[in-house]
Structure 1
Amino acid sequence: MGDKCRDDEQLMRHWRIKPPPHLAGTITCMPAAVANKPQITPGLVARAFQRIPLPHPRALVQPSNTTLVNLETIFSTQATPFTRTVTLLGQHVQLAIRPTTFTWTHGDGTTATTTTPGAPYPAKTITYRYPTTAHHLDIHVTITWAAHYRVNNGPTRPVPTTVTTTGPTTTLDVVEATPALSGTGH
């Protein structure tokens, strides 16, 4: 090959930048369209993913506002996968973003981690039984988001980082109920 390329190619030298020291690698002829296009790296995509505004959904609790000691209290949130397209170095990068874990803070010093967002009643997919009474518990959910990306409709690759968001607080009281008979004939 020498140091001559065809008219539709460009002579390129590969460099190794990381880990140091920087070393000159091989010399290659590359198609000019490829040689002149900046390369989107996983690190560049990871930094862009960290800057995307992600949802901060609220933890939903049922029953809401007040629950009973030893009653299954249902937890859920509204977090679903979505896509975003960003432009990096003049190229379109599509991110497929999805929630991967949900950490539920019950407000009484306990937490639980799940891989699903739960669902409202009657599903009961994520529940917690409060063992004692409490007032003004601060409930919230922390979500870890992951993503895959494609550059200019190319192959799909994983983004090498995750991003965590915490939703706003929901307040809950835990009370005891006392059974009482009522009505005629009692």
Structure 2
Amino acid sequence: MEAAEEGIRNGQQGSADVSGVGGKSADPGFAAGSGACPGAEAVIDQSNAPAGISFCQQYAEPTTPVLTVGLIRNAFAELKLPAGELVIQPPDGLTLVNFDTNFYTTSTRPIARTVTLLGRRVTLEATPSTFHWSFGDGERLSTSDPGAPYPSLRVTHNYLRKDTYRPSLGTTYTGRYRVDGGPWHQIPGTVTINGTGQALRAIEAEPRLASY
């Protein structure tokens, strides 16, 4: 400490190990003169401090929250996305056994939502990429094809026995995002939304003699 006092008297600045001063275990820095601790708190116990020296307890500046891809991915996963509209042909909840029942969806367009994260304007875009067809009889099929209306039979299923089934559609979305109108970036991972089943009754056709 005598060396520190000598340095101050000679107009020099420096640092010193003061871990034993006043019985404290802290290691604050020191500065000379009154008001020498701007933006910091002076150590209260200065009973052993030489005259003209203030011991300052420094504090780190608070960090600014960073908008991460993880936060954006969580926001994407929490979007209220539709499962997709399931269309079945023949219509009216009725089909035939051993018949090509047609399935398709019209829910194929990207869906955009804008959210605010940490004060930033983030645009999220979800695009249907995979369609999961559950036919209600234990058979399932996943395609990138959304199917199409009759007569373009691209996603079909044959029911082998008469019964009432509940086919359903699930949709997997891929996503991208941009911040404050900037460039688009891909969102890691996907989100899958499963829909509820529709009642569909499969019946056997009865042959009828019309004329002879």
Shorter-chain TM band = 0.7 to 0.9
AA of the residue aligned to 1:116: D
Contact 1:59 1:169 survives alignment (8 Å): no
2:88 to 44, 61, 71: 61
Offset, 1:116:
2.2
Deviations 1:70-123 (A, max 9, x none): 211110123221211111111111112111111101111100111122122222
Structure 1's unaligned 5+ residue stretches are 1-35
**2:207 equivalent in structure 1:** 179
% identical aligned pairs? 41
For the residues of structure 1 that align with 2:195 and 2:73, how far apart are their CA atoms? 22
Contact 2:125 2:175 survives alignment (8 Å): yes
Larger gyration radius, structure 1 or structure 2: 2
Deviations 1:35-92 (A, max 9, x none): x975321111010011111012342210121111221111012322121111111111
* Alignment map for 1:30-109 (pairs within 5 Å): 38-64=65-91, 65-80=93-108, 81-109=110-138
1:138 aligns to 2:200 (yes or no): no
Moved over 3 A (4+): 36-39
**1:113 equivalent in structure 2:** 142
Contact 1:99 1:146 survives alignment (8 Å): yes
For the residues of structure 2 that align with 1:147 and 1:138, how far apart are their CA atoms? 29
2:153 to 124, 129, 153: 124
**TM score, norm. by length of structure 1:** 0.73
Alignment length (residue pairs):
148
The structure in which a higher percent of residues are strand is 1
Contact 1:58 1:169 survives alignment (8 Å): no
**TM score, norm. by length of structure 2:** 0.65
AA of the residue aligned to 1:98: T
For the residues of structure 2 that align with 1:121 and 1:75, how far apart are their CA atoms? 9
Structure 2's unaligned 5+ residue stretches are 1-62
For the residues of structure 2 that align with 1:56 and 1:68, how far apart are their CA atoms? 26
For the residues of structure 2 that align with 1:152 and 1:116, how far apart are their CA atoms? 33
For the residues of structure 2 that align with 1:138 and 1:58, how far apart are their CA atoms? 14
Question: Which moved further from structure 2: 136-145 or 119-128?
Answer: 119-128
